[in-house]
A = this chain, B = another copy of it.
């Protein structure tokens, strides 16, 4: 049976980190909420089920036959070895998972730049606080996270081509997405700082050129960034400091 990915329709969001792994490996998968006749109702049916043994808290989640697996890092930890996108070594798999969880934290902070107070309100209802949080994010958090990934790449004993081990993993694909998203959301901040992370940017560029990824990015399956997703471009939140 094909893997079933459940995520909000109409945006890249957190689901995109899973899609990139499925697309790179050419896996057979269904993006359930985009299927005619299924849609978001199919996702809610699982989340609200009173009989499912393992209900997820929130999308994205993956269904593999009877098993329902929630959370991006957990899905990728599960899929990685099956898709040939995880290190062979068991210990290195936990290193990969640790890196992915650092990306998870970073992505949550990106989300909070436009929703610092209340996720149930619109961005427009928390604009001054969003501006303050974005200023701190650009000043402290972008350099802290990107500087970290740059260091990890340079210190990889197998070489700076990949973030962990000597082959492509799902973490490399996720780092591509982080750079894409930040460049969309904070173009001025990124234009100013990009030069500080040459190894990370080179990884981003190599991932973009991989045949399956390039084909996916050019396909209608890759939605454009927009202001419903995690990475949003509100010009008033962006700055070169």
Contact = CB atoms under 8 A, between A and B. Distances in A.
A28 interface: no
Determine how many copies of this chain the complex contains.
Answer: 2
B53 A74 contact: no
Interface residues of A, number: 50
B117 A57 contact: no
A180 B145 CA distance: 31
Interface stretch (A90-98, A170-178, A192-200): A90-98
Given A70-B101, A112-B112, A133 B157 contact: no
B155 A132 contact: no
B91 A71 contact: no
A102 B104 CA distance: 12
Interface string A96-140: 011001101100100010001111110000000100110010001
Given A74-B97, A117-B116, A53 B129 contact: no
